[in-house]
Amino acid sequence: MVTIGVFDGVHRGHAQLISKAVKSAAARGIPAVLMTFDPHPMEVVRPGSHPAQLTTLARRAELAEELGVDVFCVMPFTQDFMKLTPGRYVHDLLVERLHVVEVVVGDNFTFGKKAAGTVDTMRELGERFGFEVDGVKLIGEHAVTFSSTYIRACVDAGDMAAAAEALGRPHRVEGVVVHGDGRGRELGFPTANVAPPMHAAIPADGVFAGWFTVLGPGPTIGTVTPGERVMAAISVGTNPTFSGRARTVEAHVLDGEADLYGQHVAVDFVEHLRGMRKFASIEDLLEAMGRDVENTRKVLGA
């Protein structure tokens, strides 16, 4: 049993496909396999057009496992792979390598050279090679179909509530904590400066209420325990009050203190609190930051 796609975000529409595949695999007594691609196909088809990435490969594997997937298969998307005809794609990949008995895909799925293959093509090839094909219509709400493209637009606009509705959880940005200019600590609001991976989907500039987590097992760092999420006020932008130029993601952990440099962390964006702005004075900035902390507690405490 195989379900195929990029699955960036592993959103609610993806979860529907994956659930269908997992249930069918269980009924047949065979493994449920999720097949994805790396890098994103768009980067190979049109170099430089890599879309903002909602989830890392490791995060996708983690979410797939939570949904019951037995095997997470990553296919390198190369120039040669891109040139496979739909027939070769199915024969070489699905039949010869994976020995599929059923394939579950979205009803808009395309594959093969120049995306010439459709779900109908897959069904025709399935009849030839002896496997079933289930094309599933993706779910949505309010006349909007949940898709990675839609979620990227929500994130880009800073609408974290809409992004979370489609994802089924808050949007997450992972990264390593790096040294910043230390200004937050000087002001009494120390922050973890998170350096995300290339192509990560970063929300619009502003301040957000969210959760901060040190990823992976390990000993407690200061008062922060790896794997435990803690409240954080998250700033995205260039720090215009100080005429900053570099766009950064900085998380002020509300109830924790630790030396987090070099740690792999995640910030989950829950709600947009305010836009990024240049304050007339340090006092005005500190007053706003105090309100950000209060509002973060209100949002996450609820």
pTM for the whole structure: 0.92
Instruction: Classify domain 171-301 at the CATH topology level.
Output: Elongation Factor Tu (Ef-tu); domain 3 (2.40.30)
Whether omega for the bond prior to residue 190 falls within 30 degrees of 0, making it cis, is: no
Question: Do the beta carbons of residue 252 and residue 190 sit within 8 Å?
Answer: yes
The larger pLDDT score, comparing residue 183 to residue 202, is at 202
Q: Is 218 left (phi over 0), alpha (psi -120 to 50) or beta?
A: left
Q: Measuring CA to CA, which residue among 257, 248, 247, 253 is closest to residue 223?
A: 257
Distance CA(54)–CA(45), nearest Å, equals: 20
Catalytic residue among 165, 250, 271, 283: 250
Angle CA(101)–CA(145)–CA(207) in degrees, nearest 5? Answer: 120
Neighbours of 28 (CB within 10 A): 12
Distance CA(297)–CA(283), nearest Å, equals: 22
Instruction: Classify domain 2-144 at the CATH topology level.
Output: Rossmann fold (3.40.50)
Q: Is 132 among the catalytic positions?
A: no
**Distance from CA of residue 40 to its chain's centroid?**
13
> How much is the pLDDT for 143?
62
The yes-or-no answer to whether 2-144 and 171-301 have a common fold is: no
In this prediction, residue 79 has a pLDDT band, given cuts at 50, 70 and 90, of very high
pLDDT in tens, 55-78: 999 999 999 999 999 999 999 999
Domain boundaries, the chain: 2-144, 171-301
pLDDT in tens, 222-258: 888 889 999 999 999 988 887 777 899 999 999 877 7
